[in-house]
Structure 1
Amino acid sequence: MINFNSEIQDSDLQVTVSNRSFLYGDGVFETLKIVNNKILFFEDHYFRLMASMRIVRMEIPMSFTMEYLEEQILKLVDVLNINDSARVRFTVFRNEGGFYLPTDNSISFVIQATKLENKNYKILKSQFEVDLYKDFIVPKQLLSTLKTANKITHVTASIFAKENQLDSCLLINETKNVIEAANGNLFMLMGNSLITPPISEGCLNGIMRKQIIALAKQLGSVEVVEAAISPFDLQKADELLITNVIIGIQPITKYRKKEFEVKLSNQLLEKLNSSIEA
């Protein structure tokens, strides 16, 4: 079942070949986690979605209040009986018509949901190896920071990782700085500094990225710094970790010949779960 424009449908949405998200990647989306019938970090998701729609010049319906979108999401997970723990994708796409230039900027939305096994965040893989992906770059631009329907670089990076027996890949921008992983934002611990690339480097304006920055500042043992990360920095790091809303935190244990600790990852994971339960 899905929720298409506020109507629960029994089957998956059958898009036409004229769908603009299919033709041009003309869509934006949010991936959300539900725990005990509550959407985690929903206010952050909502405002990021509204900002994304404005940036790509979509017409935001008057009905798109935070309360309305929350109602539509929870309505679907309730029907599916997975409101204790679920993964939700909320996709907004411009309606059919036109070529590169749309005939209008009105939108439709579709909500999909699947069950998650775990309510609390935990480290899913004890061994997690990555390498750089250099076939394509993520440019330093505002569109790179959004969750749009055009994620072909992340798709090809994920395929590259599988082909090379890696768990994920790290992406670079045009100045060859490392900006994020194929599956989330990147943090690097070097000494007492927890470093993550600034949004100006082209990385996703991640919801979990924001949470981890706030939680790390509460620890008192590390200084949170937003700064560019070069591939050479990775070899000198004490820890590397990937963050997103679904996995929470995934420590990187190996990059090329360098192996990393997971101490800070475990500390942050404990604080993250405590903040959710509070």
Structure 2
Amino acid sequence: MKPLYVNNNGVLIPIDSYALKAGNRGHLYGDGCFESIRVIHGRPINLVNHYKRITATTKVLQMHIPVTFTLDFFEKEIQLLLEQNKITEGGKVRFSIDRKPGGTYLPRTNEIDYFIEAYPLSLNAFELNENGLRLDLYDEIKKPINILANYKTKNSLIYILAKLYAKAHQLDDILLQNDKLAIIEATAANIFLVSNGVLYTPALDSGCLGGTMRMQIINLAILKKMKVYECVITPQNLLAADELFLTNAIEGIKWVNNFRTKTYHKDTVIKIQQHLKDKWT
């Protein structure tokens, strides 16, 4: 089913008729941020954490969020679009925020525009991929550790080039390193490894994205009495691990079968996947 509408600053516009306004700073300068939100049973999930991250991101970007932009407002605007697009089961939402037009590198204002898209998905629950992913290491560009590293801004060129590299080398995804050569994430996912039943994931101060699903998996693991450590991850750690998986807000968990010549099991991944599915079913 094709979506019918998008939400542009609170106005529902037919999806086929919308055109980007001249001067849009997200288009011109990447001056914006976004959230990708999973929909299950026609409802957006984990909104509290998405809302916290988008308000934290706009604060870092020195954008001014109006006092009316509350969690309740955030949810109602998304839900309105889901209903208008007749998404009653699985779906995904992209909530974008851009600084309002005006200025060049020095903005004329710090006020915001927002734009919401909603699309149906065939799956109405988190499902584990049947075929494990094949990964390798992307070493052509390193992701710098700075104040922007943990946030979903519209500066995404490193991820695009890494994904193109993965496709050219017949890989399902590729792992990024920071400028200290630690492994931090995949192109659109956080990374976890399992060794002797213990979970390890890169720490936020390594420059990885502060993923909302990453947070969920850490909290679920702790709730189920699993040990979780945030630490520096190296290629040697991956080659010594028992299991490896990726996480993001839309797909949940995706298990990895191969990193270079290493093959992984998925016993712990299956258990964590079931805990995640139980939470949102």
Q: Partner of 2:13 in structure 1?
A: 9
Over the aligned positions, Cα root-mean-square deviation in angstroms equals 1.1
1:59 aligns with 2:64: yes
What is the SS of the residue equivalent to 1:97? coil
Q: Partner of 2:50 in structure 1?
A: 45
Residues 58-67 or 12-21, more deviating:
12-21
Specify which of 128, 131, 146 is matched with residue 141 of structure 1.
Answer: 146
> Which AA in structure 1 matches 2:261?
K
1:223 aligns with 2:227: yes
Shift in alpha-carbon separation, 1:125–1:135, aligned structure 2, 3 A: farther
Check whether the contact 1:125–1:250 (CA below 8 A) recurs between aligned residues: no
Q: Distance in 2 between matches of 1:155 and 1:75?
A: 31
Check whether the contact 2:149–2:209 (CA below 8 A) recurs between aligned residues: yes
Structure 1 stretches of 4+ with a deviation exceeding 6 A read: none
How much has 1:17 moved relative to structure 2?
Answer: 4.4
Specify which of 246, 258, 276 is matched with residue 254 of structure 1.
Answer: 258
> Which AA in structure 1 matches 2:192?
F
> Which AA in structure 2 matches 1:108?
D
5+ long unaligned stretches in structure 2? none
1:210 aligns with 2:210: no
How much has 1:125 moved relative to structure 2?
Answer: 4.3
Q: How many residue pairs align between the two structures?
A: 276
**Cα distance per residue 1:215-272 (max 9 Å; x no partner):** 112333x310000101111111111110001110001100110000111111001000
Q: TM-score, normalization: structure 2? A: 0.96
Residues 30-39 or 7-16, more deviating:
7-16
**Cα distance per residue 1:142-162 (max 9 Å; x no partner):** 201100011111111111111
**Cα distance per residue 1:61-112 (max 9 Å; x no partner):** 1210111111110101101101322100000000111111000111100000
Q: Distance in 1 between matches of 2:233 and 2:278?
A: 30
Check whether the contact 1:240–1:251 (CA below 8 A) recurs between aligned residues: yes
Check whether the contact 1:187–1:241 (CA below 8 A) recurs between aligned residues: yes
What is the SS of the residue equivalent to 1:136? coil
How much has 1:212 moved relative to structure 2?
Answer: 0.4
Q: Partner of 2:170 in structure 1?
A: 165
Q: Partner of 1:201 in structure 2?
A: 206
5+ long unaligned stretches in structure 1? none
